[in-house]
Structures are given as structure tokens and as C-alpha cells.
Amino acid sequence: MTVSEFQQCKHKKKLTVVTAYDALFARIVEQAGIPVILVGDSLGVVVQGKPNTLSVTMDDMLYHTRLVAGAARQALVIGDMPFLSYQASTDEALRNAGRFLQAGAAAVKVEGGAAVVERVKAISSIGIPVMGHLGMTPQSVHAFGGYKVQGKTKDRAAALLEDARLLEAAGAFAVVLEAIPAELARRITESLSIPTIGIGAGPHCDGQVLVLYDLLGLFDEFVPKFVKPYAHLKADALSALQRYKEEVEQGKFPSESESYH
């Protein structure tokens, strides 16, 4: 899928987006027919075991982007710009966005509204498609005082709608809306001509995104209310590993069929 095909889906077809961090899962996601893969900085939490996304580096993101982009044949691969890779200056933002394209991504994503519109303008104007991200933006976890639903007051809701309009005007090709009231997400979705992709933003967005290991039931350190586990892979993995250990200890594995003569 290309960025322009992605945009044409607004008003036509709901967009399904999922994160992936390696070639194995990128291939499974593609086989399932999912058209868009986000190499999310959530890998800091689910792959690296950190409490938040703040310690993820450009080198970490480029490594995982190369793995995913090297395996993806059809999917639109979007690279999630990590903390401090675009905030300090427009110059750094441009260079780092370009490095994602060199790693094989077709687009990048940045968190924030008015504070990053100049970055979004600069990145998109040199031919790099940029996705925005508003609401409960995890790189601002300390400013929010935790992972809290955003846009609950009239003033904050109006500010988020204005941020969304600014991102669209700056050239963003889409915007992620995270952990905001469904009614606000609907208003933003109706006000923009670019697609909105929700995560904890209700059913009225133009598409949805989830962290892969959350929807597979593989990650359970914390499970936000917006996650629906479509599988229980952690339970499956645990029982497989326990059976393997039992069979090794009881001398049942390996048996004849796993042995050479």
C-alpha cells in the first residue's frame, strides 16, 4: 500500500494498522492481509522491557525498521520517530526522518501538535510523508503524570481539534488519535480530510491501530482498556514451555521421531 492509497481509504474503507518489530511478525501480518505496519517506539516497552518509550534510540528504531521493511512486500511501513530525534531542531528532524527512509520505511510518525507543526512542514516538504500523533502521546508521559486519557475538558478538546487542523495544514498525511473520548475523535475525524487512526479513540476514526503483542495476548505487564486480546499467545507459550520442560525431565523428549540413526 502506498501513502496515497492509504489516504484514499477515507470515507471508503476502514484502515487496519498494527505494529511489528521484526521480519517474522511482519510476514505474518502481511499474510493476514493487513496493509499497514507501524514500527512503533512501543518496542521499548514490549521488546526491550523498559517502563516507557523514552529510552528508545534512533539506532534501535533503524535496526527494527530494516528488519520489518526487508520482509514486507506489500505493506506500507511507517517508522515511529523516537524521543529526541525530532524535538531539538528542524535540522535533526529532517536528517533523522531521512534515515528512516534509508532503512526502508515509506513514511515517519511524530508525536505532538502545535509544537511540532514546523517539523511536519519541513519533513513533508522534502518528500517524506509524515503521520501525526495526538492525545495521549507516550513520549510526554511525564508531562501528563502517567498514561491518562486526554482531551476530557472542553478547552483540551478544542486544543486537540486545533492541533489536528494544524497538522493537516502542515502536510501530515494522517493522524493517530490515542486515548481520547470517542466523541472528540469523531469530531476530529469529521473535521479533517486526512485519515484518523484511533487507539483508544472509539469507533468513529477512519482506521485503528494496536500494538501487535497486545492484540495477540502476548504482552500483559499492563493492559490498557482499549486493548482487545484476539489471541492468548502468552498462555499458549507458557503451557508449551512447561510441557517441554516436563518431557525433558521425564526423558520423554526427544523420542524416536526426533532422533537420528
Ligand X SMILES: Nc1nc(=O)c2c([nH]1)NC[C@@H]1CN(c3ccc(C(=O)N[C@@H](CCC(=O)O)C(=O)O)cc3)CN21
Ligand Y SMILES: CC(C)C(=O)C(=O)O
Binding residues: 41-42, 80, 109, 111
- Binding to ligand Y in span 171-200, by CB under 6 A: 176, 199
> Quick one: 19 or 85, whose CB is closer to ligand Y?
19
Radius of gyration for the chain, computed over Cα atoms and rounded to the nearest angstrom: 20
Q: Does 80 bind ligand Y (CB under 6 A)?
A: yes
Interface residues toward ligand X, by CB under 6 A: 42, 45-46, 53, 138, 147-149, 179, 211, 214, 219, 222, 224-225
- Closest residue to ligand Y, Cβ-based? 40
Backbone region of residue 208 per phi and psi (left: phi > 0; alpha: psi in -120 to 50; beta: other values) = beta
Least spacing, CB of residue 108 vs ligand X, in Å: 17
| Total number of residues that touch ligand Y (CB under 6 A) | 10
* Residue among 5, 178, 221, 249 flagged as catalytic: 178
Q: Does 211 bind ligand Y (CB under 6 A)?
A: yes
Which window, 1-9, 23-31, 37-45, 96-104, contacts ligand Y (CB under 6 A)?
A: 37-45
Residue 54 contact partner, candidates ligand X, Mg ion, ligand Y, none, CB within 5 to 8 A by sort of partner = none
Identify whether 168 is a catalytic site residue.
no
Least spacing, CB of residue 132 vs ligand Y, in Å: 11
Q: Does 206 bind ligand Y (CB under 6 A)?
A: no
Which window, 38-46, 65-73, 160-168, 243-251, contacts ligand Y (CB under 6 A)?
A: 38-46
Least spacing, CB of residue 247 vs ligand Y, in Å: 37
Interface residues toward Mg ion, by CB under 5 A: 40-41, 80
Residue 63, number of CB atoms within 10 A of its CB = 15
Place of cell 481539534: 161
Q: Are 122 and 93 in contact (CB under 8 A)?
A: yes
The binder of ligand Y chosen from 26, 42, 124, 161 (CB under 6 A): 42
Q: List residues binding ligand Y (CB under 6 A).
A: 19, 38, 40-42, 80, 176, 199, 209, 211
Active site residues: 178
